[in-house]
């Protein structure tokens, strides 16, 4: 089979997969979550097997333990978190109005500091931000009603997801062997290398980035609650859970927390500085300690490409698209890097005679190197 035919087959396969995802997007949620849960828990099941557990018993023990922990935490914190979220929604218009009053009160100082023209622009920006915030609040009741209409779907997901995860975990190794047996023999070693890279990238997404997300949520919720910020638990959890989108969780949490702190603590500006320091300090720790340790370079996705993937898949497939966006972006990154490597070793890049000169990737002015 020629290279051209192989490329056409893979493109057709990709198109069929996208069409199937779009057609079945309404029922995919429990299967996507179940598959992610199975992938996440498979190493634990394998470890129990090494300890002489039967695969079925190992799967049941791990899954039951995870479900018990999840349900326990959910029931323990749901009343408090729900109460804080509802209170935050109710109080948010008052916070916005108080911030507007403070801006009006500070207008003489702002005019003197920024000058009349820049001060007018600043006040216009605050007014526009307030209008957008109030518009968002006005749409919240309708959104909550929509969530209520899908309550049956949520119950269905909570019942179906553990079943999907159980059966996938039970036969995970068999499915992997079956897929490997379908690989074309002439290219098996090369495809195995690609699949290994995809596995590392997926591990970085689901295990590494998922771990960072949970740690972010726990830290923000704990720190903001301990410092005494109103609705700190709800703001911290939402900020942490939004951190899967680059900079969105930080920007949301920082702006909302500082705004609440100004209204709550002013004129004690040291408390406002402390709230801002929580986000700025943790952002530094996350970027320089947590992310390199838990995720490393396995994902290797440009943040712009990641945000595009989230918006695109969210628009096409809804909430399921948001769940699939990061893993599929990671897989796409692996395939693109593989394609670029193949292109650079092809005659299209090197030339008809195998290439006479290949410039070093570093671009540091070294002598040209002959291509092999």
More confident residue, 148 or 332: 332
Task: Say if residue 75 is in the same domain as residue 169.
Answer: yes
181 domain residue, yes or no: no
More confident residue, 86 or 64: 64
Q: Is the pLDDT score of 358 beyond 50?
A: no
- What's residue 156's pLDDT? 63
Specify the number of domains making up the chain: 2
- What's residue 109's pLDDT? 61
Q: Is the pLDDT score of 271 beyond 80?
A: yes
Report residue 244's pLDDT band, with 50, 70 and 90 as the boundaries: confident
Task: Say if residue 105 is in the same domain as residue 251.
Answer: no
369 domain residue, yes or no: no
Instruction: Give me the domain span that covers residue 214.
Output: 188-345
Distance linking the first and last C-alpha atoms of the chain: 26
9 domain residue, yes or no: no
- What's residue 105's pLDDT? 67
Task: Say if residue 226 is in the same domain as residue 95.
Answer: no
Task: Say if residue 113 is in the same domain as residue 87.
Answer: yes
More confident residue, 243 or 319: 243
Task: Say if residue 168 is in the same domain as residue 311.
Answer: no
Task: Say if residue 78 is in the same domain as residue 202.
Answer: no
Mean pLDDT score, 355-363: 46
Mean pLDDT score, 245-249: 72
Task: Say if residue 239 is in the same domain as residue 133.
Answer: no
Q: Is the pLDDT score of 161 beyond 70?
A: yes
Give 227's contacts (C-beta < 8 A, 6+ positions apart): 271, 274, 275, 278
372 domain residue, yes or no: no
Provide the mean pLDDT of the chain. Answer: 75
Mean pLDDT score, 321-338: 79
Mean pLDDT score, 234-261: 80
Task: Say if residue 192 is in the same domain as residue 341.
Answer: yes
More confident residue, 51 or 124: 51
Task: Say if residue 103 is in the same domain as residue 244.
Answer: no
- What's residue 204's pLDDT? 72
Distances 350 to 16, 263, 330, 360, 366 between C-alpha atoms, Å? 33, 64, 28, 13, 19
- What's residue 150's pLDDT? 53
Tokens of 121: 């622009």
Mean pLDDT score, 192-216: 79
Of 176, 200, 235, at which residue does a domain stop?
A: 176
Spatial contact of 262 and 99, defined as CB atoms under 8 Å apart: yes
Tally helices (H) and strands (E) across the chain: 15, 0
Q: Is the pLDDT score of 363 beyond 50?
A: no
362 domain residue, yes or no: no
274 vs 227: CA distance, rounded Å: 8
Q: Which of 137, 124, 35 is nearest to 91 (CA)?
A: 137
More confident residue, 218 or 294: 218
Q: Is the pLDDT score of 29 beyond 50?
A: yes
Task: Say if residue 192 is in the same domain as residue 164.
Answer: no
205 vs 225: CA distance, rounded Å: 29
Q: Which residue has the tokens 């500006």?
A: 269
Task: Say if residue 204 is in the same domain as residue 341.
Answer: yes
Give 246's contacts (C-beta < 8 A, 6+ positions apart): 303, 306, 307
pLDDT tens-place string over residues 119-143: 566 666 666 665 565 555 555 444 4
Give 172's contacts (C-beta < 8 A, 6+ positions apart): 38, 42, 45
Q: Where are the alpha helices (DSSP H) in 106-115?
A: 107-114
Give 43's contacts (C-beta < 8 A, 6+ positions apart): none
155 domain residue, yes or no: yes
Mean pLDDT score, 54-79: 85
Task: Say if residue 232 is in the same domain as residue 333.
Answer: yes
272 domain residue, yes or no: yes
- What's residue 113's pLDDT? 61
Render 199-239 in DSSP notation, one character per residue. Answer: HHHHHIIIIIIHHHHHHHHHHHHHHHHHTT-TTHHHHHHHH
SS3 content of the chain, % helix, strand, coil (to 5): 85, 0, 15
pLDDT tens-place string over residues 69-99: 888 877 877 777 777 777 777 777 777 777 7
Of 154, 176, 198, at which residue does a domain stop?
A: 176
21 domain residue, yes or no: no
More confident residue, 113 or 326: 326
Spatial contact of 297 and 308, defined as CB atoms under 8 Å apart: no
Of 176, 207, 228, at which residue does a domain stop?
A: 176
- What's residue 365's pLDDT? 47
Spatial contact of 194 and 334, defined as CB atoms under 8 Å apart: yes
Q: Which of 213, 207, 259 is nearest to 239 (CA)?
A: 213
211-214 long-range CB contacts below 8 Å, 24 or more apart?
211/294, 212/243, 212/286, 212/290, 212/291, 212/294, 212/295, 213/240, 213/241, 213/243, 213/244, 214/240
Residue % of the chain over a pLDDT of 90: 1
């Amino acid at each position: 089979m020629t290279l051209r035919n192989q490329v056409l087959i893979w493109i057709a396969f990709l198109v069929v997969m996208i069409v199937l995802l779009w057609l079945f997007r309404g029922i995919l949620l429990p299967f996507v979550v179940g598959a992610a849960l199975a992938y996440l828990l498979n190493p634990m099941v394998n470890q129990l097997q090494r300890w002489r557990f039967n695969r079925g018993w190992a799967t049941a023990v791990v899954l039951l333990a995870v479900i018990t922990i999840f349900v326990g935490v959910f029931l323990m914190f749901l009343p408090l978190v729900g109460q804080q979220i509802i209170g935050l929604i109710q109080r948010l218009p008052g916070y916005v109005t108080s911030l507007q009053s403070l801006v009006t009160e500070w207008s003489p100082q702002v005019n003197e500091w920024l000058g009349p023209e820049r001060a007018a622009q600043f006040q216009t920006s605050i007014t526009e931000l307030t209008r957008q915030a109030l518009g968002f609040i006005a749409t919240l009741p309708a959104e909550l009603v929509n969530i209520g209409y899908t309550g049956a779907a949520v119950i269905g997901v909570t019942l179906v997801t553990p079943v999907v995860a159980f059966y996938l975990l039970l036969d995970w190794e068999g499915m992997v062997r079956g897929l490997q047996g379908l690989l074309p023999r002439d290219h098996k070693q090369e495809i195995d290398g690609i699949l290994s890279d995809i596995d590392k990238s997926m591990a970085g997404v689901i295990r590494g980035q998922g771990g960072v997300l949970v740690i972010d949520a726990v830290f923000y919720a704990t720190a903001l609650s301990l410092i005494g910020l109103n609705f700190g638990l709800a703001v911290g959890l939402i900020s942490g859970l939004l951190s899967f989108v680059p900079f969105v969780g930080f920007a949301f949490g920082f702006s909302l927390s500082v705004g609440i702190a100004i209204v709550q603590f002013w004129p004690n500006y040291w408390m406002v500085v402390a709230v801002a320091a929580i986000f700025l300090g943790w952002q530094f720790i996350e970027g320089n300690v947590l992310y390199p340790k838990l995720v490393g370079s396995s994902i290797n996705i440009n943040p712009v490409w990641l945000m595009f993937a989230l918006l695109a898949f969210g628009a096409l497939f809804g909430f399921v698209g948001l769940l699939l966006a990061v893993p599929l972006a990671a897989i796409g990154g692996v395939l693109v890097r593989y394609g670029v490597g193949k292109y650079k070793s092809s005659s299209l890049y090197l030339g008809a005679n195998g290439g006479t000169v290949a410039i070093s990737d570093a671009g540091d002015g070294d002598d040209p190197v002959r291509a092999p």
